[in-house]
């Protein structure tokens, strides 16, 4: 093999490594979306609604509860259906337990788990946040479509949810 050919090949390999490394450092990792949970809304740093992401792209939601009550970040596939189901469940719980908020909260959380299991795909992920708490949630939207960030907590809004107060955010997956 020609010596100059080897030198050109080595230089090309080194340059390719530098370019690939720079691409990785400049955004080759998961997309990070910073979310603040407030009474009663989601605020996203540097983004205006609706959020737009790509199917198959790993996402890290860096979320913090800036509110004074418990909130949750739920990723759901059908916000309206979930709110309708929650409204029905809360009406049922209100009829059964009235203003016994402690019992209602326990029963409503049990219902969250049940609906997550029975209605596969409706609630894709659910993470609760105490006031001031920060968490990172990793998620990948596998299919294009419209999804939602929703808070279904009831603290300070019972017999309605925080979503009934407008705490939801649309996500378009392309």
Domains detected in the chain: 29-173 (2.60.40.420)
The predicted pLDDT at position 120 comes to: 64
Beta bridge partners of 141: none
* Nearest residue to 89 (alpha-carbon basis) of 104, 68, 67: 104
81, 152 Cβ separation under 8 angstroms: no
Query: CA dist 125 to 13, 39, 73, 120, 139, Å?
Result: 42, 21, 8, 11, 8
The predicted pLDDT at position 107 comes to: 93
- At 154, phi and psi to the nearest 5? -125, 0
The predicted pLDDT at position 123 comes to: 86
- At 137, phi and psi to the nearest 5? -115, 120
Query: CA dist 84 to 67, 81, 151, Å?
Result: 25, 5, 14
The predicted pLDDT at position 51 comes to: 95
Measured in residues, the chain has a length of 174
* Nearest residue to 156 (alpha-carbon basis) of 147, 164, 168, 148: 164
Measure the CA–CA gap between 53 and 55, rounded to whole angstroms.
Answer: 7
Give per-10-residue mean pLDDT for the chain (174 aa): 62 55 59 96 93 96 97 94 91 93 92 72 89 97 96 92 96 97
For the whole model, what pTM was predicted?
0.80
Measure the CA–CA gap between 171 and 44, rounded to whole angstroms.
Answer: 12
């Amino acid at each position: 093999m020609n010596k100059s050919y080897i030198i050109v090949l080595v230089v090309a390999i080194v340059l390719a490594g530098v370019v690939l490394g720079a691409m990785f450092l400049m955004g080759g990792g998961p997309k990070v979306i910073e979310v603040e949970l407030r009474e009663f809304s989601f605020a996203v740093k540097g983004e205006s609604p609706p959020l737009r992401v790509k199917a198959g792209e790993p996402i890290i939601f860096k979320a913090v509860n800036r509110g004074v009550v418990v909130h949750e970040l739920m990723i759901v596939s059908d916000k309206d259906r979930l709110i309708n189901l929650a409204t029905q469940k809360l009406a049922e719980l209100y009829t059964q337990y009235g203003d016994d908020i402690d019992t209602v909260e326990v029963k409503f959380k049990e219902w969250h788990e049940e609906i997550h299991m029975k209605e596969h795909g409706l609630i894709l992920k659910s993470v609760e946040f105490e006031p001031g708490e920060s968490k990172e949630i990793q998620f990948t939207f596998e299919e294009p479509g419209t999804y939602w960030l929703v808070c279904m907590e009831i603290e300070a809004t019972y017999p309605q949810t925080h979503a009934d107060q407008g705490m939801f955010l649309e996500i378009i997956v392309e």
